[in-house]
């Protein structure tokens, strides 16, 4: 079935709302407007304002309300328009959602799902082009996922709603228009494991989310040069699937990590550190990271493109790993 990433998200939301009366969607413009990215288009008219709730422009307030509803037995889906706005709710996410199970000695669960758009590439300048997944992956008590395919966009939400702990879903905004085939009957997917999206033997390309299509495109370019690149989609950023990372490095002996976050103290750094600690003797060359440049994301298109991981950058990094 031909569809889009956006439609997969919308269908996942609709089916979750229809399946379980405890589920409701809340956020800025998710109701009558249909969502900033049209992911909830039509759901307000179909299901009503009790199930699809427009909120005031206060991330701290409505994320806190979602946490409270989860504590009360509901299954809220909280949408934050873009991940930079999530910083206005960081106190609620870090000091409440992530900690209440621990601080209550296991007496309380916080089954809230928080969705947000992430990533750059749309000329929205420095304040709306963040990739902060790595920040949240640093926090114990959260599960952090990044669907990079249609199947994951469709299937991660129902699994997240069944989790007794808070789950953050980062949807790269450039993927919403991604088109492809979704198998009939596609449903829930696991949110525990990474996935090899392309097998290979010469080098491992480890990535996630919005960088996955670029990394797969780079693998195609490399294949034309006779280089076999394995592409591992992390999918789940906390907890990381360390076994999958070590397995692909053990297979190819070389590692390139592609991460739209900034290079310093990045998720890519964590992947490389784990390989250095647990798989050092599998490596035939030093790992390389392809990340965003260490600058606020520029507005001009040519500078924005230059600041982000791109296919030519990934290809050059692979050549460096292979040939020095």
Which residues carry out catalysis?
59, 128
Helices 5-19, 150-161: crossing angle, 10 deg rounding: 20
**Cα–Cα distance measured from residue 114 to residue 67, given in angstroms and rounded to the nearest whole number:** 10
Cα distances (angstroms) measured from residue 175 to each of 83, 139, 153, 162, 289:
15, 25, 10, 25, 22
**Cα–Cα distance measured from residue 245 to residue 235, given in angstroms and rounded to the nearest whole number:** 12
**Cα–Cα distance measured from residue 260 to residue 121, given in angstroms and rounded to the nearest whole number:** 10
Transcribe 198-255 into DSSP letters: E--SSEEEEE-GGGHHHHHHHHHHHHHTT--EEEEE--EEES--HHHHHHHHHHHS-E
On whether the CB atoms of residues 198 and 229 are closer than 8 A, the answer is yes
Q: Residue 239: is the preceding peptide bond cis (ω within 30°)? A: yes
Cα distances (angstroms) measured from residue 168 to each of 55, 115, 211:
19, 6, 18
**Cα–Cα distance measured from residue 247 to residue 253, given in angstroms and rounded to the nearest whole number:** 10
Tokens representing residue 194 in the block: 């990474």
Which contacts (CB < 8 Å, 24+ apart) does range 88-95 have? Answer: 88/58, 88/59, 88/60, 89/59, 89/60, 89/62, 89/63, 89/64, 91/60, 92/60, 92/63, 92/64, 92/67, 93/63, 93/136, 93/139, 93/142, 93/166, 93/168, 94/139
Tokens representing residue 312 in the block: 């030519």
């Amino acid at each position: 079935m031909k569809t889009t990433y956006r439609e997969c998200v919308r269908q996942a939301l609709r089916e979750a709302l229809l399946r379980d009366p405890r589920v409701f969607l809340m956020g800025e413009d998710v109701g009558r407007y249909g969502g900033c990215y049209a992911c909830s288009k039509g759901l307000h008219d179909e299901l009503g304002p009790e199930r699809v709730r427009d909120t005031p422009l206060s991330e701290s307030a409505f994320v806190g309300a979602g946490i409270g509803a989860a504590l009360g037995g509901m299954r809220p889906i909280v949408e934050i328009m873009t991940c930079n706005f999530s910083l206005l709710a960081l106190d609620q996410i870090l000091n409440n959602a992530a900690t209440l199970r621990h601080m209550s000695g296991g007496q309380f669960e916080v089954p809230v799902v928080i969705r947000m758009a992430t990533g750059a590439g749309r000329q929205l300048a420095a304040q709306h082009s963040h990739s902060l997944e790595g920040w949240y992956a640093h926090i114990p008590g959260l599960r952090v996922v990044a669907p990079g395919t249609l199947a994951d966009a469709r299937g991660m939400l129902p699994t997240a709603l069944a989790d007794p702990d808070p789950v953050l879903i980062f949807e790269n905004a450039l993927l919403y228009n991604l088109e492809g085939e979704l198998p009939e009957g596609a449903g829930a997917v696991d949110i525990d494991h990474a996935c090899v999206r392309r097998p290979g033997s010469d080098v491992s390309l480890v990535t996630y989310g919005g960088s996955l299509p670029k990394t797969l495109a780079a693998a195609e370019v490399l294949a034309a040069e006779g280089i076999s690149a394995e592409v591992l989609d992390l999918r789940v950023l906390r907890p990381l699937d360390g076994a999958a990372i070590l397995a692909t490095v053990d297979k190819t002996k070389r590692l390139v990590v592609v991460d739209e976050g900034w290079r310093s103290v990045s998720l890519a750094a964590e992947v490389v550190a784990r390989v250095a600690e647990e798989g050092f003797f599998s490596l035939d060359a030093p790992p390389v990271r392809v990340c965003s440049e260490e600058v606020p994301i520029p507005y001009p298109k040519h500078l924005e493109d230059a600041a982000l991981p791109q296919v030519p950058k990934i290809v050059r990094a692979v050549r460096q790993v292979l040939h020095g």
